[in-house]
Amino acid sequence: MADVPPRGAVRPGGRTARVRESVLRAAADTLVEKGFDALDLAEIARVAEVGKTTVYRRWGSPGALAADLLDDMAAQSLPRSRTGNVRDDLRENARLVVRTLTDPRQGRLFKALIAASLCDEQAALALRRFYAVRIDEWAGCVADAVERGELPSGTDPRRVIAGVSAPLYYALLNTGEPLDEAAADRAAETALAAARAGVWAE
């Protein structure tokens, strides 16, 4: 579910788009290296080589900058898999989450953004939007499975996808249990078993 565009990725656009890209890259670097508390707009402007006035006018606060970064990540994230089999689709989803959370850069970035969401309402709302976008994208594999008769009629696709990633985030933020392919597959199998049992059927 979670994924982030590679560092330094260049996207088309005019000067405004280039300014935004530079600022968001600098913000992501700061979050990865120092955390949300170090997200100072003046310093971000210096690192991004953008006018300080521009940064303050467009973003106004560290929370707004973190929120825009999350919105950008959602817009650039990868499409879901289409294996034709719900078990394989859910495994692909879980393994993507694990790859993201264990990546040296992306994992630290997500931790920093989650921390930001706990103390800033704009960041919190953006994090909810991010996950809504990713859940909606992957919910298609569950809807397809219902149509194929692999899951009960009335199964809520969004709840199934949330059920896949929930134990993985819990391990990241609470238990510290290993996040690996085996953990991903267990999360997928658990969500699949619950869906087949009708836990998320209306």
In tens, the pLDDT along 104-159 reads 999 899 999 999 999 999 999 999 999 999 999 999 999 999 999 999 999 999 99
List the Cα angle 89/94/152 in 5-degree steps: 50
What's the pLDDT tens digit per position in 22-58? 999 999 999 999 999 999 999 999 999 999 999 999 9
The tokens 């836990």 sit on which residue?
199
Residue 13 pLDDT exceeds 70? no
pTM for the complete prediction?
Answer: 0.85
Three-point CA angle 181, 186, 190, nearest 5°: 150
Within 8 A by CB and 6+ apart from 14, the residues are none
- Enumerate residues 6+ apart whose C-beta is below 8 A from 4: 73, 76, 77, 100, 105, 106, 109, 110
- Nearest to 27, CA basis, from 18, 15, 39, 37: 39
For 74-196, CATH number out of 1.10.260.40, 1.10.357.10, 2.40.390.10, 1.10.10.60 equals 1.10.357.10
**Could you give the residue range(s) of every CATH 1.10.357.10 domain in the chain?**
74-196
Supply the pLDDT for residue 1.
54
Tell me how far the alpha carbon of residue 176 is from its chain's centroid. 19
List every span in the chain annotated with CATH 1.10.10.60. Answer: 15-73
Spatial separation of the C-alpha atoms in residues 184 and 198, rounded to whole Å:
22
Angle, CA of 49, 55 and 57, to the nearest 5°: 150
* Alpha-carbon span 125 to 135, nearest angstrom: 15
Residue 2: the pLDDT is 56
Dihedral angle at the C-alpha atoms of 110, 115, 118, 119, nearest 10 degrees?
-130
Architecture of domain 15-73: Orthogonal Bundle (1.10)
Q: Please indicate whether residue 120 or residue 12 has the higher confidence score (pLDDT).
A: 120
Residue 5: pLDDT over 50: no
